[in-house]
Chains A and B, each alone.
Chain A
């Protein structure tokens, strides 16, 4: 694997007031079982606290979990913060209840992929393993 890292580092974050965390916790566990190092920030995060986690942990991947309808606003704000702070090479993923047109809007602001409820965790793992080396190398 052509990454300068032996273990993929992932942040899973839940922005805002949405407390549905079953999916986020299941994904965190699955990524761990796939050999990744996962920081789950918990619920009630702000865009600033998420940015801080991404930066301080030097994350390869940021997974946003949102089942609250405000995913677009949060993703846009976080995407901006990542850019402003030199961290927009992170692989930005969003999971949750997302209508397809919102998925397009998310991709337009730099989200690499959107995963709906019931996405097999294997698909998410595969996606990350394929994409991470590219994202890291791009800044080298």
Chain B
């Protein structure tokens, strides 16, 4: 879908801080049926971090804090913020950018794009995977943050999209563990207890510790004043370093065929309902075949 020359132009534009071509390219990806998009393989991967969690946990505030901390450390930051589309009208109020505005003031090395879920079951826009990959292909970023609503099956979807999944929660959600669906706890690479200055924070941390795998880190933050956020950044950097130095990344990424297939199938079903051109059927078949081949290769390893 994107010729190598187009990608080159995109890279140069982003390098000079001219974001419009990337923004327009993202729109194209949003508007193209997923089976028609064949992006080249990523040669220089960027850390894709997914942030999810129940409503009220302060995800957007934490994202803003992470933007501030990473950008001020010289990192180039990309944020994809996903909000649910109205099931009734199909429209959406994309309210995450609003919460990040302060973090964007005067920082030119940050790119934020709001995406509507557009009715996806996973509450993650179907185009998100490809948008993230496109952003990676520009070589313009040192970190790509995908922020989602903690609804639907988004915990599974985000796990298939991101290299690192952060689950953000807060004390005072009643039973912290119950408040987080079982799926979240299993896929999280790190659990962040935000508003950690609350008196009930230590208890929440204890309770979580008893209920999640040993290998999952728990960090505490107070996103509103950046407490704990530099430590979070350091943990993310360390994790990315470890992953890129081994073959873990390949394993991490190429195994995520199931979600891709599911998204394709969903998109296909929707499109078929209103009528799809014959050529599209070929594209769909090709894409599914590719996924199945990858899967087969994986299983036989």
Contacts and interface: CB of A to CB of B under 8 A. Distances in A.
Is A–B contact present in the complex under a CB 8 A cutoff? Answer: yes
Interface of A: 4-7, 9, 28-29, 31-42, 45-46, 49, 52-53, 55-58, 85-87
A106 B62 CA distance: 39
Nearest to A4: B31
A42 B116 contact: no
Nearest to B88: A33
Given A35-B89, A56-B113, A41 B97 contact: yes
A31 B113 contact: no
Contacts, number: 80
Contact of B114 (A45, A52, A57): A57
Interface in B85-144: 85-86, 88-95, 97-98, 101, 104-105, 111-114, 116, 118
A52 B23 CA distance: 11
A37 B91 CA distance: 5
Interface residues of B, number: 30
Contact of A33 (B26, B89, B105): B89
A22 to B, nearest CB: 15
Classify the secondary structure of B's interface with A: mixed
Given A55-B19, A86-B20, A49 B92 contact: no
Contact of B92 (A38, A46, A87): A38
A83 to B, nearest CB: 13
Residue with the greatest number of chain B CB neighbours at <10 A, chosen from A40, A41, A52: A52
Nearest to B83: A37
17 contacts: A7-B116, A9-B27, A33-B86, A33-B91, A34-B89, A34-B91, A35-B90, A37-B94, A37-B116, A39-B97, A39-B98, A49-B101, A49-B104, A56-B23, A58-B24, A58-B26, A85-B18
Nearest to A11: B97
Residue with the greatest number of chain A CB neighbours at <10 A, chosen from B86, B88, B101: B101
Nearest to B95: A40
A42 B96 CA distance: 11
Q: Lowest 10 A-B CB distances belong to which pairs? A: A58-B23, A32-B91, A35-B91, A42-B98, A39-B94, A58-B27, A35-B90, A37-B116, A32-B93, A36-B91
Contacts of A46: 105
A86 B16 CA distance: 15
Contacts of B23: 55-58
Nearest to B99: A42
Contacts of B114: 37, 39, 57
A38 B98 CA distance: 11
A56 B131 CA distance: 13
B78 to A, nearest CB: 10
A45 B27 contact: no
